[in-house]
Amino acid sequence: MGKNVAVVGSGAREHALAEALLASGKETRVTVWPGNDGMEGVVRGGALPEDPALAAKTLSDAETDLVVIGPEKPLMEGLSDALRTRGIPVVGPSAGAARIEGSKSFAKELMQRVGIPTAEWSKVAGRSEAEALRKRWGLPLVFKADGLAQGKGVAVVTTQEEWEAALSRYFERREVPGGDVVLLERGIEGPEVSFIVATDGKRFVPFPTARDFKRIRDGDQGPNTGGMGALSPVPGWGPKDQERACEIIERCLWGLSKGGTPFSGFLYAGLMMTADGPSVLEFNARMGDPEAQLLFETLGDRALALMEEVAAGSLGTGWVLEATPRVGVVLAAEGYPEKPVSGDPLEGLPPSGERLSDGAFYMAGVTREGGVLRASGGRVLTAVGRGETLASAREAAYRLMGRIRLRGGQFRTDIALREAKKG
Ligand code: GLY
């Protein structure tokens, strides 16, 4: 008897997850709640009620055997807890454990307690406390909103002008989402790595390393976005790095468990590789986006088995996820991220059901109107290319992107450009 699996979310990450689960066997039924109109061949549930208890009831009424939650919001609102109360297996942490992402100060305090390397930091109540820390640490400094901020909570400050602008935004105009409490951190430098594991709270399976590209324009210019591209694996990552990153995950899981909020689901450590080794910039309580569009593919036909073991708390010891080169390039609507334009037709996608030999499209901000697929604002899709090397994976991703037409559509042309020369 096949399993009835629910995926919660509507972006390209959830599309990739649904496809990975479908690859686990013909008898697996996957429903995405609510999904998006670009998810061809995937069953769509409706929008789930906001209330976690009602959402859990909806999934229970749909005779769901397993739920995998994509985005952070339902995790923080307690959807995993409500599902567990009903006895429905779920991949996703409790609301208590999801605070590792939802509260920067909770994460920083935990890191301090369990000895995870991270930049020096302090909560700051206003301008004068911030000025005092600046005297002590100098620039660069990083302002962070304590709460969830949809990618808008962090400001890296390197100049006097940026400093004044940040003080005004965070303390005078108070216009930063999640910024009721503000943290100031010492700036650190180095390349970033996304180190993501699937964990049942006791054991964990690391995915291959990845790197995402957050700024809208080439050369890491312009405002931060939800992510404009990613690559995997990160060239130059060695066994020592892996060992240190695994130790960070072990300490984090131990600290969460000891604090009474054991973590199960996907745990994401955003690392900065400093001269002294990895330092944690942030933890996320979920799979990364756009990293997921690359990493779920590494599961082959084993996605359902992995998710079931995570949900049951019985993760086996034999899991190894092979790193094969992949590059993802995101197409965003005109005006993104400030004022995305909706409604333009999206053309050039392969016909429904056609499998590509060297990559895939994962759909996000699209709607179907009058039989035509149109951009509905924000990030529209991720084109993922695969290859023997990062360079050939990159070529494949850009070849796929070259087929697509969207008026005013934006994508970066330098995703994985530097890394492809090394890996
Ligand atoms: N790629 C960064 C994130 O998912 O938060």
CA of 227 to the centre of ligand 1 (A): 7
Characterize the bridge pairing of strands 211-217 and 277-284: unpaired
Q: Is the CB of 229 under 6 A from ligand 1?
A: no
Quickly list DSSP for 87-119. Answer: T--EES--TTTTHHHH-HHHHHHHHHHHT----
Q: Is the CB of 288 under 6 A from ligand 1?
A: yes
Which tens digit of pLDDT belongs to each residue from 305-351? 999 999 999 999 999 999 999 999 999 999 999 999 999 999 999 99
Buried/exposed code over 268-299 (b: 16+ C-beta within 10 A; e: otherwise): bbbbbbeeeebbbbbbbbbbbbbbbbbbbbbb
Instruction: Give CA–CA dist 87/81, Å, rounded.
Output: 10
Could you tell me which residues come within 8 angstroms of residue 147 by beta carbon, excluding any fewer than 6 positions away?
102, 103, 104, 153, 177, 178, 179, 180, 181
Q: Is the CB of 72 under 6 A from ligand 1?
A: no
CA of 193 to the centre of ligand 1 (A): 11
**What pLDDT sits at residue 334?**
97
120-141 average pLDDT score: 96
Confidence category of residue 423, pLDDT binned at 50, 70, 90:
low
| CB distance 356 to 390 below 8 Å | no
Which tens digit of pLDDT belongs to each residue from 93-129? 999 999 999 999 999 999 999 999 999 999 999 999 9
| CB distance 210 to 230 below 8 Å | yes
Instruction: Give CA–CA dist 333/146, Å, rounded.
Output: 29
Report residue 390 as tokens.
């990062």
Instruction: Give CA–CA dist 312/122, Å, rounded.
Output: 38
Nearest-atom number in ligand 1 for the CA of 286 is 4
Which tens digit of pLDDT belongs to each residue from 205-247? 999 999 999 999 999 999 889 999 999 999 999 999 999 999 9
389-417 average pLDDT score: 98
CA of 370 to the centre of ligand 1 (A): 33
